[in-house]
Chain A
Amino acid sequence: MLEVVKNIPIDYYVYLSSLLFCIGVFGVLIRRNAIVVLMCVELMLNAVNLLLAAFSTYLSDAQGQILVFFIMVVAAAEAAVGLGILVMIFRNTKTTDIYSLDNLKF
């Protein structure tokens, strides 16, 4: 049996991932710069990745780690397209403040 599986309860990984996820949610809520908001979304995705890898190791099953790869693929595509949209927005409005993007607000 692995050293880490013996010595660390799986609950610790659950708590750490929950904490990182909630810090990401907090960052999305308090920051107004759209680029930093995207970075906080990346942090939330990483919290989920960490928990998937932990369960994968504890169950000795590779499928969790494969799922982490696919989450990384989606995160990379999301960052590329999101930053492309942000550059476009900055070119039109000269700001990345999310409060300036309320044209669809009723």
Chain B
Amino acid sequence: MSLSLAVFLILGLASVIFSLLMVFTKNPVHSVIFLILTFFSIAGQYVLLNAQFLAVVHIIVYAGAIMVLFLFVLMLLNLNSAAEPKQSARWKLGAAIAAGMLLVTLVGALKGGIQIAVPENTNPQVGLAQNLGRVLFTDFVVPFEIAGILFLAAMVGAVLLAKRDVKL
């Protein structure tokens, strides 16, 4: 077994185990911690795929910003495992069957059907900041500006939603 395959399997196993723990643990704060560990193993996959800039952005945005926001809200609302509502066992069984059938359908539909003509002279620089920045600011400059507008709208909306007694 080659080294990259071994690293892939270890990281994949880690991400699956941590995400299952995230789903099954009772305490929401522990859920956040396990989701952060899942994100770190996915960032490792990005490094393995030679997408270093994406890996760094992933850690900064997800582990650094979004998960801190989740933890902050959890602590603000003072939620713990005692207040955690419980789902009935029958519903859990039905959910497991539904998710398992979705997995079987996805894998069955995609198994062996992916034919990728890998170019012989692949460019190893494709995931670096220089190349991504050039593509982002030439081919994708309009979506980039629209993403900025989306962020502004989301920021205004979030502040407006979380504020008490807004006078419109």
Please judge, given known A-B contacts A65-B132, A66-B140, A96-B77, whether A4 and B69 are in contact too, CB under 8 Å. Answer: no
Chain B 1-33 interface mask (CB, 8 Å, partner A; 1/0): 011110010001001100110110000100110
- Alpha-carbon separation in the docked complex, A36 to B8 (Å): 27
CB distance from B17 to the nearest CB of A (A): 10
CB distance from A24 to the nearest CB of B (A): 7
Q: What are 22 A-to-B residue pairs whose CB atoms are below 8 Å?
A: A2-B122, A8-B8, A16-B12, A19-B16, A23-B23, A27-B19, A32-B85, A39-B31, A42-B66, A46-B62, A53-B51, A54-B49, A56-B51, A56-B127, A76-B66, A77-B153, A79-B69, A79-B70, A81-B158, A81-B161, A85-B161, A90-B77
- Alpha-carbon separation in the docked complex, A23 to B46 (Å): 20
Interface residues of A in 47-87 (CB under 8 A from B): 49-50, 53-63, 65-66, 68-70, 72-81, 83-87
- The reply to whether A8 and B119 contact each other, CB–CB distance below 8 Å, is no
Q: Which residue in chain A gives the minimum CB-CB distance to B117?
A: A59
- The reply to whether B143 and A81 contact each other, CB–CB distance below 8 Å, is no
- Interface residue range, chain B: 35 or more
B124 contacts which chain A residues (CB < 8 A)? 2
- Kindly state whether residue A102 has any CB partner on chain B within 8 Å: no
List 9 tightest A-B contacts by C-beta distance, closest first: A29-B95, A77-B154, A84-B161, A26-B99, A27-B23, A84-B158, A22-B103, A60-B122, A32-B85
Q: State which of A15, A32, A77, A87 has its C-beta within 8 Å of the C-beta of B76.
A: A87
A80 contacts which chain B residues (CB < 8 A)? 69, 154-155, 158
Chain B 64-89 interface mask (CB, 8 Å, partner A; 1/0): 01100110011011010001111100
- The reply to whether A35 and B79 contact each other, CB–CB distance below 8 Å, is yes
- Kindly state whether residue B162 has any CB partner on chain A within 8 Å: yes
